[in-house]
Chains A and B, each alone.
Chain A
């Protein structure tokens, strides 16, 4: 599997999709006007990875802000991961949030309530 790395921009997050290590990272902010355009290649990558997943896939999400159109795309990513998990591979999602950020904490809880994958909420201290 190829590795995809996207550097962060003022409107889009840093993304790393590493098929060799089974590591997925999304960090920073996600507020593009056209979220589907940004996330489509990532979803396509996950589709391919889902055919030959590693035994363990670790997913680290550390977002500062995201807009509501990104929220749908992030859910699409989690749904792809859920398929991988349900086929028998181990998938772990780590949702990082700053200690005083109740909105990002609640956003993590929202996803946790919708998808069925091991999901850890990890508080970061300043």
Chain B
């Protein structure tokens, strides 16, 4: 049993796929995939501003995976220590970054509350919260700083769409879509 990741992955492969990756997230792999995005012709055609936003959001998403995935100890996923999925696609007028990863059940409420809170804020509130966290909090243990998701919503002006799928008694699969207009 467990979450059917292949079925989920296929569903996410809509639109024009610019990059897709399922497997171990490592610093070298991140460097390579960013090079692929930079040399992508589709993205070279769009204006500077949009291209930078896409790049920025992609970097935050993939580094979120790098810092925050948990891997279920069962045998269903054999893909290294930091298993994650990331897809950059173009859906009509939007670019979409989709990520998916397993997390321990104990973290679900914290993450859900955080995203719901960020999604509920106005532009002005986002700016204030960003500045407050930047100015006051020390860097988090994993180096993420707690600003990643906030930054994405602020830069794209779009809310984060997320889904949580049960996997087993300890782990869930957590999926996020970020749209860049």
Contact = CB atoms under 8 A, between A and B. Distances in A.
Interface of A: 10-11, 31, 33-36, 64-65, 67-69, 71-73, 75, 98, 100-103, 106, 110, 113-114
Contacts of A71: 134, 145, 147, 151
B19 to A, nearest CB: 16
Interface residues of B, number: 30
B135 interface: yes
Contacts of B30: 33
A65 B155 CA distance: 12
Given A67-B63, A72-B139, A110-B134, 6 more contacts: A11-B31, A33-B66, A68-B148, A103-B53, A103-B56, A114-B131
Interface in B32-56: 34-35, 47-49, 52-53, 55-56
Nearest to B144: A69
Tell me the interface secondary structure of chain A in the complex.
helix
A10 B34 contact: yes
Interface of B: 27, 30-31, 34-35, 47-49, 52-53, 55-56, 59-60, 63, 66-67, 127, 130-131, 134-135, 139, 143-145, 147-148, 151, 155
A103 B134 contact: no
B151 A68 contact: yes
A10 B31 contact: yes
A68 B66 CA distance: 14
